[in-house]
Amino acid sequence: MNTNFGNSVEQSRLDEEITKGSPQRGDPKKDYTAYIAEEDGWWIGWVQGVRGVNCQERTREELLHSLKIAIPEMLELNQQEFIDVPEPHFEAITIRL
């Protein structure tokens, strides 16, 4: 496993670029923790707390990009998957974090 990320200034710039902005679809900004590692020539990773967000890419940059794209897609899919239709007397309230 290679944990040498090279130039820390360049890495800091890349990390800022990857985390800049919020996911598409008008979601409020939120930080997510990704766990990544290089194994056998591939970069692999997943996002904590978002079921189904795991990726594998040839470069660290491609992996971070894929994870960032996958987050809003899986949040939407997970939300649709768990839609419960309540009884008529329940009121639907949106809670924004």
Give pLDDT tens digits for 23-42. Answer: 444 455 789 999 999 999 99
Helix (H, G, I), strand (E, B) or coil at 73: helix
In a domain, 91, yes or no: no
Give the span between the Cα atoms of 50 and 38, in whole angstroms. Answer: 21
- The residue range of the domain holding 70 is 8-81
Choose among 34, 56, 61, 44: nearest CA to 1. 44
Q: How confident is the model at residue 2 (pLDDT cuts 50, 70, 90)?
A: very low
Dist. CA 59–CA 38, nearest whole Å: 9
Q: Is residue 24 part of a domain?
A: yes
pLDDT of residue 69: 95
pTM of the model: 0.58
Cα 68 to chain centroid distance, Å, stands at 4
Number of domains in the chain: 1
Residue 64 lies inside a defined structural domain of this protein: yes
**Residue 25 counted as domain residue:** yes
* Range scoring the smallest mean pLDDT among 24-28, 51-55, 74-78, 90-94: 24-28
* pLDDT at 64 exceeding the cut of 90: yes
Total count of residues recorded for the chain: 97
